[in-house]
Structure 1
Amino acid sequence: MPLLIDGHNLIAQMPGLHLSDADDEAQLVLLLRKYAALRRGRTIVVVFDRGVYGHPQRLDGYGVTCVFARSPQDADAHLIRRIQAITRPREWTVVTADRQIAQAAIARGVRVLDSRAFARTLLQSATSLRRQQRADAEKPEQAEHSDIEEWLRLFGEEDGEHAQ
């Protein structure tokens, strides 16, 4: 299910992220990329209120598309225009706590998920991914039985010689 996210609205709900941080958008996008990685094929569009001079405008990639509006009003209008342009509204979810955006989504038949609830999901996904990466790093690499047989054949060991 594709997501359309009210970016700064979500940042305000994320523990450890602050709208005053110079790289708050990049930090959120990194979390969204991890979330998208756990849900292969997930499309995420995040709209931020405004771009800052000198700020990297190209944060797109790994399943996340970023849009920077010129002002907070432009961002709300941009989100509403995007909602109205969705061709399959039942397939999309809008993440926001803004009433006007939520009403536009509901009127169009798009599911709405509160930013605070999605923030919890996003943090749980990031924690889960870190645990999985640690477990994978600690797991010893295991050779397949066929690999072992091939190695024994290549190095001249006969079938019964390695069992002692």
Structure 2
Amino acid sequence: MPYLIDGHNLIPKVGLRLDSLDDELELIAILQEFCRLERRQAEVYFDGAPSPHAGTRKLGAVTAHFSPVGSSADDAIRNRLRKLQKAAKNWTVVTSDRQVQSDARSARAEVISSDEFAKMIRKAMDSLQASKGERTVSKQELEEWMKMFSGKETSD
């Protein structure tokens, strides 16, 4: 199920700062990795983009929509749900805005809060780190291996 994401709601939930110049690009990079790991598609919406930066950009599995100054990401998400019509039920809306959540439910879309989605991202990234990193060994396990390789019998 693909995602429709309110980007500025999600930015602080994933540990980024809204006052950073590159906050949107940093979030997009995180979403690209998440979508790659989860094999999902996402559309992320940002509001308040100056006119030369407004528009849509496709970046791998993530499509970023930058609404121009004067229009909101909330309205853009609502418009997208209207265009999806009955297919909206196949999408998940990620937002902490209660009105957008209500509108998404009315369109029969799934809804996840930005907090919950940030937890999903962390879990996916943690599992990636765990699969990349070395497995940790408990102290007891280490002692058993040391005894085995030193030729001493274990007491078990």
Fold-level similarity (TM above 0.5):
yes
* Secondary structure in structure 2 of the residue aligned to 1:97: coil
Provide the C-alpha distance between the structure 2 equivalents of 1:58 and 1:83, rounded to a whole number of angstroms. Answer: 17
Alignment correspondent of 1:133 = 132
* Secondary structure in structure 1 of the residue aligned to 2:65: strand
- The C-alpha deviation readout for 1:23-73, integer Å capped at 9, x for no partner, is 111111111111111122x11000011225786977632200000001364
| Cα root mean square deviation, aligned | 2.2
- Conservation of the 8 A alpha-carbon contact between 2:56 and 2:66: no
- Conservation of the 8 A alpha-carbon contact between 2:51 and 2:68: no
Percent identity among equivalent residues? 34
Alignment correspondent of 2:123 = 124
* Secondary structure in structure 2 of the residue aligned to 1:117: helix
1:50 aligns with 2:48: yes
Q: Which has the larger radius of gyration?
A: 1
Runs of 4+ in 1 over 4 A off after TM superposition: 52-59
Provide the C-alpha distance between the structure 2 equivalents of 1:4 and 1:103, rounded to a whole number of angstroms. Answer: 14
Letter of the 1:76 partner, please give it. D
Q: How many residues align?
A: 133
Alignment correspondent of 1:30 = 29
TM-score, length-scaled by structure 1: 0.72
Change (3 A) 1:61 1:72: same
Provide the C-alpha distance between the structure 2 equivalents of 1:72 and 1:123, rounded to a whole number of angstroms. Answer: 33
Gaps of 5+ in 2: 135-156
Alignment correspondent of 2:10 = 10
Alignment correspondent of 2:60 = 62
- Conservation of the 8 A alpha-carbon contact between 2:51 and 2:69: no
Alignment correspondent of 2:112 = 113
* Secondary structure in structure 2 of the residue aligned to 1:50: strand
* Secondary structure in structure 1 of the residue aligned to 2:58: coil
TM-score, length-scaled by structure 2: 0.75
Letter of the 2:10 partner, please give it. L
Displacement of 1:115 in angstroms is 0.5
* Secondary structure in structure 1 of the residue aligned to 2:104: helix
Q: Which one has a larger percent strand, Structure 1 or Structure 2?
A: 2
Provide the C-alpha distance between the structure 1 equivalents of 2:56 and 2:129, rounded to a whole number of angstroms. Answer: 25
Gaps of 5+ in 1: 136-164
